Structure 1
Amino acid sequence: MKLLSNLTKQNHRKRIVELISKSDHIVLCSGWMKRAGLKKILPALENAKQKNNAVITIYSNKKHTDEECIIALNDFRHIVVDDIYSKYLHTKIYYFQAENNFNAIIGSANITHGGLVSNDELSVEISGLIGSKEHQDISSYLEQLEKYA
């Protein structure tokens, strides 16, 4: 387990972009998604999709997702959760898988400029082997997100 903060050189954006570039399965879940934040990671997502043939799923809350983000993510599996029909999506989890390993960043950072770069945000990064207890717990939560699809 590692702590990740925007108060250090290794901010959320840098770590998320680094993990995107190494992964073939990616799940990003952010209650808030703003254009300035998405611009920080979109090139890495596009590159992972093209070069790594990565499977990418993105969840965001309709109420707090910029329309520009919905358009920009048209070529991805982007699930926009409407809280009129379900619970309000407030989760921030970034999941990455490559071969037999996983990394998950769980904390306070949304996909906004502030969340990824400038706000005082704190997250925990968990890593390990696919099939470990930690992986099973995180996978179980990610399966629950599918109810929004």
Structure 2
Amino acid sequence: MELITNFQRPTNATVLADLIASSKRSTLCSGWIKRKGAALLVPSITKAIRNGASITIYTEQRTTPESELVDLRAIPGVGIFVACTKVALHTKLYYFESESNFSAVIGSANITLGGLQSNDELCVHLNGSLADPLGQQLRAYLAHLSAAVGSGPTRQSA
């Protein structure tokens, strides 16, 4: 386990970009997405998709206008789910799988320029086996999120 801040190297942007590029499955949950923040991750997302990875992104309708998703939606194969439910999506969870292991970054950073590079943000980077209780809990939360967002109205692309 390690702490990630934007005032030490590596920043949230660097850690997330590296994890996306090296993982077989990435799930990015951010209540806010801004185009400048997404631009920091687009090269890694594009590389991962080219290498056969699965990328799923969840965000919130009230805080992420469609115009902020243009560059992400331009990448074929990326699943984007925009929650339009009564309960706001406020989660900042970035989850990655490779072989039999997982990594997760959980904290305050949204996918915005400030969240990934310049704001005073704090996240924790966790690693473990998919069989670990924490890995199972994270996958259960992601299943809950998928069901919650999928059960209400969404704007989706893949």
Using the size of structure 1 for normalisation, the TM-score is 0.94
1:101 matched to 2:101? yes
Aligned to 2:12: 12
Report the alpha carbon displacement of residue 102 of structure 1 after superposing the two structures with TM: 0.6
Amino acid at match of 2:18: E
Task: Name the aligned partner's letter for residue 145 of structure 1.
Answer: L
After superposing on structure 2, the runs of 4+ consecutive aligned residues of structure 1 that deviate more than 2 Å are 66-75
| 8 Å Cα contact 2:21/2:44 also seen in 1 | yes
Residue range with higher mean Cα deviation, 38-47 or 63-72: 63-72
Distance 1:43 1:71, change over 3 A: same
- Which 10-residue stretch deviates more, 69-78 or 121-130? 69-78
Q: TM-score by structure 2 length? A: 0.89
- Paired residues in the alignment total 146
Structure 1 CA distance for aligned equivalents of residues 68 and 49 of structure 2 = 17
Determine the structure 2 residue equivalent to 1:36: 36
How many percent of aligned residue pairs carry the same amino acid?
A: 39
The code of the aligned residue for 2:65 comes to D
Q: Helix, strand or coil: the match of 1:142?
A: helix
Unaligned 5+ segments in structure 1 are none
Cα deviations by residue, 1:99-137 (Å, 9 ceiling, x for unpaired): 111100000000000000000000111101111011011
- Deviation digits for residues 77-118 of structure 1 (CA, Å, limit 9, x no counterpart): 000011xx3310000000011111110000000000000000
What is the CA deviation profile of residues 22-44 of structure 1, one whole-angstrom value per residue up to 9, with x for unaligned ones?
A: 10000000000001100000111
Stretches of structure 2 lacking an aligned partner (at least 5 in a row):
151-158
Aligned residues of 2:105 and 2:123 also touching (Cα < 8 A):
yes
| Matched AA of 1:78 | I
Correspondences of 1:1-149 after superposition (within 5 Å)? 1-51=1-51, 53-74=52-73, 75=76, 76-82=78-84, 85-147=85-147, 148-149=149-150
Task: Give RMSD over aligned pairs.
Answer: 1.1
